[in-house]
Amino acid sequence: MVTSLTPADLAAIDARLSTTDDLLRTAYPGDDGSRQPVHTVYVPADRFTPELATVWRRTVRDAVDDAGGLDAVASLIGLDAALASDVVPRVREKLAVEPIEDLRIDFEDGYGDHGDEAEDAEAMRAAKRVAAAAGAGFAPPFIGIRFKSLEAATRARGIRTLDLFIGTLMEHGGLPEGLALTLPKVSTVAQVEAAAEVMTVLERAHGLPHGRLRFEVQVETPQLVLGVYGSSPVAQLALAVPGRISGLHYGTYDYSAALGIAARYQSMEHPAADLAKGIMQLAAAGTGIRLSDGSTNILPVGRRTADAWRLHARLVRRSLERGFFQGWDLHPNQLVTRYLATYAFYREGWPEASERLRDARRGTATGAVLDEPATVRALAGFVLRGVRCGAISADEVADATGIDEATLVALAHPTRHQEAT
C-alpha cells in the first residue's frame, strides 16, 4: 500500500523532535528498579556508634514488651485480627534482623555548631564508624550523612565535613554500597548545581567514577517549590544535574515554619504540606528521583506512647496511599509502627495485586478489571516494593503469579530494563 509520507518527510520530523528525544532520555530516564528504603532514621553525629541499630532494636523491643507485645500494638493502631496475624510475625522478624533500613548521621540541625575542630574530628570519626559497621556486616543497607547547607553561613563548613567524611571512608576501605548523602535547606537550582560540582571534584580526587556520589535534596524552603519568578525550581533539578539527585525529601517543620504556620499545626498532613509534596511528585515523575515524606515530632514515649503510635501509623499509611513510599523516623519506638503500617499496606493489597498480575501475564481478565500496561507497571511496582522491604516474599510471588524477581523488576521498570538488555 502506497503511503503519503516520504523518507525525507520522516527524517524532517525526526530532526524536529530530536531535542524532545534528548530531553526525555536525559531528564526522564525512569526509575532504575533498585531498592528504596521505607524510611530514613536521623541521629545526631555525636550520638552515632556502629552498634546503633542494635541499641534501637533493644529500645523498641522493651517498648513493645511494655505495651503487651506486637499483637497488642497492632490492635492499638487498628489492625484487625486476621491482618495482624499475617503482619505481626513478619514485623517481628524484620525488627530482629533489620530494624533500620536507612541511617543518616546528622551534622546539620540535629548536631548544631560544635566548632570547627570538634566537627572535623566528628566527621572523620563517623566515617571510621561507618566503615567499621559495614566491615562487620551490621551497617544498615543505606547509610550516610546530612551535611550543613550551602547557604552562605554554613557553606564552607558543610563542604569541609563532606570532604572529610568521604576522604576518611576512602582511607578505610572505600564507600559503602548504600552510601547516602543529604543536602538540606535548598532554596535555588544554583545550590544544587554547586553541590554537584563538589561531588565531581571529590570523585576526581579519589578516583571514583563520575556519578558515584549522588545526593538527596531536602525540600524545606518555599523558594524551592515556587521561585521568585513564578516558576518551580524543584522541577528544574533533574535536568540541571542529570543523574546526581537520588531523592527529594520533604522537611515538615522547616517548610511549615517558613510559611508562618503556627507550631501547633505544623504537620505532614497540613494542606500546605500536601501542596508542596504534590509539586514534588509532579517534578520527580519519570526522572528516577525518589520521594520521601517528612517526620512527626510527636514521639511514642512515656504517657503519650499509645497516641503517638496511632498518629505515626496513620501518617505512614497516609503517605503510602499518596505515593510517598519513604519517610523519616526520629525515635526507636517509631520503628514498630513504621513496619506494622507498611507491612499492613502491602499485605492488604497483595491478594488483589497478585491476581491482577497473574491475569495480565496470561492475557486473561477473570475479574472485573482489565488492566492496561501502565497499570500493570504500577501493580508490579507495588509488589516489588513489598518484596524489597520484606512484607511479601519472592517465593509467594513466584507461587501466585509465576513471576520471579528479575521479571518483576522488568515489568515495573520496562524502560530501564530495555536499556540494560
What was the pLDDT predicted at 410? 92
- Same domain membership, residue 402 and residue 285: no
Q: Contacts by 154-159 with C-beta closer than 8 Å and gap 24+?
A: 157/116, 157/119, 158/107, 158/108, 159/198
Q: Give Cα separations from 191 to 57, 157, 185, 254 (angstroms).
A: 37, 15, 10, 18
End residue of a domain, out of 345, 364, 384: 345
d(CA 408, CA 400): 13
Q: What residues are paired with 104 via a beta bridge?
A: 42, 144
d(CA 143, CA 18): 40
Domain that holds residue 393: 349-420
- Same domain membership, residue 404 and residue 305: no
pLDDT for 287-342, tens place per residue? 999 999 999 999 999 999 999 999 999 999 999 999 999 999 999 999 999 999 99
Cα 35 to its chain centre, rounded Å, is 9
Backbone φ and ψ for 248, nearest 5 degrees, come out as -115, 120
Neighbours of 25 (CB within 10 A): 12
- Same domain membership, residue 256 and residue 113: yes
End residue of a domain, out of 302, 320, 345: 345
Q: How many domains does the chain have?
A: 2
Cell numbers standing for residue 178: 548504600
pLDDT for 245-284, tens place per residue? 999 999 999 999 999 999 999 999 999 999 999 999 999 9
**Helix and strand tally (H, E) in the chain?**
18, 8
pTM of the complete model: 0.94
- Same domain membership, residue 382 and residue 257: no
Cell numbers standing for residue 237: 533539578
- Same domain membership, residue 397 and residue 249: no
d(CA 88, CA 74): 7
Cell numbers standing for residue 307: 497516641
**What is the amino acid identity at position 43?**
V
- Same domain membership, residue 360 and residue 235: no
Cell numbers standing for residue 252: 515538615
- Same domain membership, residue 297 and residue 158: yes
* pLDDT tops 90 at residue 8: yes
25 in any annotated domain: no
- Same domain membership, residue 360 and residue 378: yes
